[in-house]
Chains A and B, each alone.
Chain A
Amino acid sequence: MLLQDSKPRYGEKAIQGLLAACGILSVLTTTAIVFSLLGPMIGFFEIVPAKEFFFGIDWTPQFEPPSFGVLAIVAGTLNVTLWAMLFAIPIGLGTAVYLSEYASPRVRRTVKPVLEVLAGIPTVAIGIFALTFILPEIIQPLWPGELLGGAVGKPFMALAASLGLGLMVVPIIASISDDAMSAVPHGLREGAYALGATRAKVAVRVIFPAALSGIVASVVLAISRALGETMIVLIAGGSTPNFTLNPVESIQTMTAYIATTATGDISTGSLDYKSVFAVGAVLFGITLAMNSISIRLTRRYREVYE
């Protein structure tokens, strides 16, 4: 008998268990997030009616009596995200199409890492840039007069935060969409060229639709990043809850409310403390939904091309 059962290797089993524990830790993290949000949130809803929270449009926790209408700061988040996407989607997709269909390999090799550097800039730096450069040097001089209330003389503005956010997510959209478009089989391109299509037509009518799920996934990911970003909106967007989508108003987002309220000295049992968790739960729910869409789309796009 040359082959026989090896010794029962307990060490191997122990190592496998240890490694599995590392994986399980990630599930525990999610569980911990959900539980740490749920506890104080339930406490919050014992005091503030859920109806007032989910449908109210006045967010004035510091007033007496306080009002907790989360829609005011949800609107702030949507405001900055909307305008950020109107800037970032054309710029990001344009960059992606250029890199994938027009740029020479040498240009592509240079531009892509530079964009990756942009993706690595700390958001606190982008926020300060938005407040001290984008707002006074770009928005205020270029904004057409009194449109929507005018931009001059305002120290904070949703649009400044939006453009900062846009700058932050352009590399995400550009990089992932470029990967999706580059993954489209070459035969499709060559077939279209052989039929006499121009580069623009190949890009728009052949490559773009073929890579659509990857492109949409990149946009969804960018939206979820913009929704969850804190520092840029905290620095440049202001701190006045405002139920509006007007880009030249000062606003407050969900993340900015959390960051300004839950600083070190807040007392654990207070209503303010609990409200942070209720807002956090709303934010967590929204980003989770966005992310599930993104994961599903990415998976579908992988099935097609691998």
Chain B
Amino acid sequence: MSGGPSSVTPRNRLAIAGARATTAAMLRDQPRGDVIRNAAFAGLLFLAVVIALAGLLALLIQAFVEGAPALSPDLITNPPSTIFPEKAGFRPAIIGSLQLIAGVIVFVVPVGIGAAIYLEEYADKSRWWNRLIEVNIQNLAAVPSIIYGILGLAFIVRGPLDLGFILVAGSLTLALLVLPMVIIVAREAIKAVPDSIRQGSLALGATQWQTIRSQVLPASIPGIATGVILAVSRALGETAPLLLVGATVFVTFDPTPFSPDGYSAMPVQIFNYALRPQEEFQALAFAGIIVLLAVLLVMNSFAIWLRNRYEQRW
């Protein structure tokens, strides 16, 4: 039996026409109000996106407009000054931030990756202490940064470690702050390595650590690096905990890691300039924001690029 149009009887045709008219009538009637409501809804959503992006754009434009007059090489090479704002810069703050970040990396990379490997490769999830570590890390990731400042003040600067207000104390405080973030990202990267790789390696006689060192870790390095860069960029922009562990001093000399004379950091110096009422210092604060944002933007873009470039599909 062929079902072509030639076999359509008049009775079929009548039925088809009826069905078509009914459908068309329903489609025409139903949307009326809906079309308008749908368009209004889409418009509102679009407005939300525009407001979010406009906020970001306004922040960037304002920083550039207000900071542009103060942008000069002096910004990087000169120390801050309360008397000559036109010559003041961020030199000690930049050097301080670089040293702080170096300290964060030295501490956070081995400990963060170590904890991630332990949780993914060794930990028996049925044991309560391993679950405790897991929940604990999730909770630490959401503890406000100022609480880490209190911890740094009571535990690292004073109290048990008693390091005093030195740069290394600031470094350790920031490192504890970003550690949960590194662990969480590193775990995701390690989790993404398929089990068949591990089983293949173990079947060839490698020990568990050999498997991790020569198979799992190399495969997860891009993911881990992304996490470390994001953590470092967070530490670089963090101000509040540093206020509590000593980075408030108006430092005019190049800081060193263990010097008790105090230290400064980029965001703290920006905050310091912004508090001053004179216009020149305001411009300096905005110029500092431009420098900081530029560095952070490069780092974050690199992290995103790294994630996309080396994302492995097994």
Give residues in A with beta carbon < 8 Å to B: 6, 9, 11-12, 15-16, 18-27, 29-30, 32-33, 36-37, 39-40, 90-95, 97-99, 102, 111, 113-118, 120-126, 128-129, 131-133, 167, 170-171, 174, 196, 198-201, 203-204, 221, 224-225, 227-231, 234-235, 255, 258-259, 262-264, 268, 276-277, 280, 283-284, 287-288, 290-292, 294-295
- Are B147 and A26 in contact, CB atoms less than 8 angstroms apart? no
Q: Which residues of A contact B64 (CB under 8 A)?
A: none
* Residue of A91, A98, A125, A126 with most chain B CB atoms under a 10 A cut-off: A125
The 0/1 profile, CB within 8 Å of A marked 1, for residues 137-149 of chain B is 1111011111111
Return chain A residues, CB-CB under 8 Å to B53. 111, 114-115
Count A-B pairs with CB separation below 8 Å.
273
Q: Tell which of A9, A196, A225, A258 touches B146, judged by Cβ atoms closer than 8 Å.
A: A258
Q: Find the residue from B47, B154, B158, B207 having the highest chain A CB count within 10 A.
A: B154
Report chain A residues within 8 Å CB of B27.
Answer: 196
Interface centre among B31, B117, B142, B158 (most CB of A within 10 A): B142
Among the 9-residue stretches B10-18, B98-106, B238-246, the one with 4 or more Cβ atoms under 8 Å from chain A is: B238-246
Main secondary structure of the interface of B (DSSP, over half): helix
- 17 further contact pairs, Cβ within 8 A, besides A102-B45, A203-B41: A20-B118, A20-B122, A26-B179, A32-B155, A33-B150, A36-B155, A37-B154, A98-B48, A122-B267, A123-B239, A128-B285, A200-B42, A230-B240, A259-B149, A262-B153, A280-B146, A288-B143
On whether the beta carbons of A295 and B138 are closer than 8 Å, the reply is: yes
Indicate if B259 sits at the interface (CB-CB under 8 A). no
Closest to A284 in B: B147
For residue B135, which residue of chain A has the nearest CB?
A295
Q: What's the Cα separation between A82 and B286 when bound, in Å? A: 29
Distance (whole angstroms) from the CB of A15 to the closest CB of chain B: 5
How many angstroms between the C-alpha atoms of A25 and B292 in the bound complex?
A: 31
Ordered by A's residue number, 7 sampled pairs between the chains whose C-beta atoms are within 8 Å are A19-B115, A22-B112, A32-B155, A33-B150, A102-B46, A115-B52, A133-B59
Task: Say whether B276 faces chain A, with CB atoms less than 8 Å apart.
Answer: no
Would you call A170 and B52 a contact (CB within 8 A)? yes
Task: Please report which residues of chain B, range 101-138, place their CB below 8 angstroms from some CB of chain A when the two chains form the complex.
Answer: 110-112, 114-115, 117-119, 122-123, 130, 132-133, 135-138
Q: Given A32-B151, A228-B143: A124 and B179 within 8 A (CB)?
A: no
CA distance A120 to B46 in the complex (A): 23
Chain B: residues with Cβ within 8 Å of the partner, total of 95
Specify which chain A residues have a CB less than 8 angstroms from the CB of B139 in the assembled complex: 30, 288, 291-292, 295
**Closest residue on chain B to residue A22 by CB atoms:** B114
Contacting residues of chain B (9-52) with chain A, CB-CB under 8 angstroms? 27, 30-31, 34-35, 37-38, 41-42, 44-49, 51-52
In the complex the two chains form, is A198's CB within 8 Å of B48's CB? no
Distance between Cα atoms of A203 and B148 in the complex (Å): 40
- The answer to whether A128 touches B274 (Cβ under 8 A) is yes
Min Cβ gap B235→A in Å is: 10
Known: A19-B122, A23-B118, A98-B46. A122 touches B143 (CB 8 A): no
Residues in B whose Cβ lies below 8 Å from that of A170: 52, 55
Chain A contact residues: helix, strand, loop or mixed? helix
Q: How far is the CB of A287 from chain B (nearest CB, A)?
A: 6
- Most chain B beta-carbon contacts within 10 A, residue among A9, A19, A115, A263: A19
Known A-B contacts A111-B53, A121-B237; the reply to A227 vs B292 at CB < 8 A is no
Complex CA–CA separation, A264 to B149 (angstroms): 11
Residues on the A chain within 8 Å of B110, using CB: 22
Q: Which of A26, A93, A171, A255 contacts B137 (CB 8 A)?
A: A26
Please name the residue on chain A nearest to B34 by beta carbon: A198
Chain B residues with CB below 8 A from A228, complex form: 142-147
Q: Determine if B207 and A224 form an interchain contact, defined as CB atoms under 8 angstroms apart.
A: no
Q: With A and B bound together, what is the CA distance between A22 and B55 in angstroms?
A: 40
Closest chain-B Cβ to A270's Cβ sits at a distance in Å of 13
Known A91-B52, A124-B237; judge A280-B115 contact (CB<8 A).
no
Q: Does B197 contact A (CB under 8 A)?
A: no
